[in-house]
Structure 1
Amino acid sequence: MSERKALVVRGGWDGHQPVEATELFIPFLEENGFAVRVEESNEIYADEAVMDETDLVLQLVTMSTISPEALAGLRRAIEQGGTGMAGWHGGIADSYRNSEAYLQLIGGQFAVHPSKAPDQLHGEQADNYLPYTVELTELGRSHEIMAGIDDFDLVTEQYWVLHDDLNDVLATTTHPVQPYHPWHRPITSPAIWTRMWGAGRVFVSTPGHRVEILEDPNVNSIIRRGLLWAARDGRDAA
Structure 2
Amino acid sequence: MTTKRAVVVRGGWEGHHPVEATELFLPFLREHGYDVLVESSPAVYADFDTMAATDLIVQCVTMSTIERDQVAGLRAAVQSGTGFTGWHGGIADSYHDSGEYAQLVGGAFVAHPGKEPEALTGEPGDNFLDHTIRLTPLAAEHPITAGLEDFELTTEQYWVLHDDLNDVLAVTTHPAPPWHPWHRPVVSPAIWTRNWGAGRVVVTTPGHSLEVLQHPSVRTVIERGMLWATRRA
**Do Structure 1 and Structure 2 share a fold, with TM-score over 0.5?**
yes
Aligned to 2:83: 84
CA drift at 1:2: 3.1
**Structure 2 counterparts to residues 64-213 of structure 1, below 5 A:** 64-79=64-79, 81-213=80-212
SS in 2 for 1:30: helix
**Structure 2 counterparts to residues 17-96 of structure 1, below 5 A:** 17-79=17-79, 81-96=80-95
Q: CA separation in 1, counterparts of 2:224 and 2:73?
A: 25
Question: TM-score under structure 1 normalisation?
Answer: 0.96
CA drift at 1:145: 0.6
Q: Give the residue type in structure 2 aligned to 1:187.
A: V
Find out whether 1:217 has 2:216 as its counterpart: yes
Find out whether 1:4 has 2:27 as its counterpart: no
Aligned to 2:230: 231
Q: CA separation in 1, counterparts of 2:55 and 2:164?
A: 26
Listed as ranges, the gaps of 5+ residues in structure 1 are: none
Q: Give the residue type in structure 2 aligned to 1:214.
A: L
Question: TM-score under structure 2 normalisation?
Answer: 0.98
SS in 1 for 2:178: coil
**Sequence identity percentage:** 61
CA drift at 1:142: 1.7
SS in 2 for 1:58: strand
Deviations, residues 161-209 of structure 1 (Å, cap 9, x unaligned): 0000000000000001111111000001100000000110000000011
Listed as ranges, the gaps of 5+ residues in structure 2 are: none
Is 120-129 or 37-46 further displaced after alignment? Answer: 120-129
Q: CA separation in 1, counterparts of 2:81 and 2:4?
A: 13
Q: CA separation in 1, counterparts of 2:124 and 2:50?
A: 36
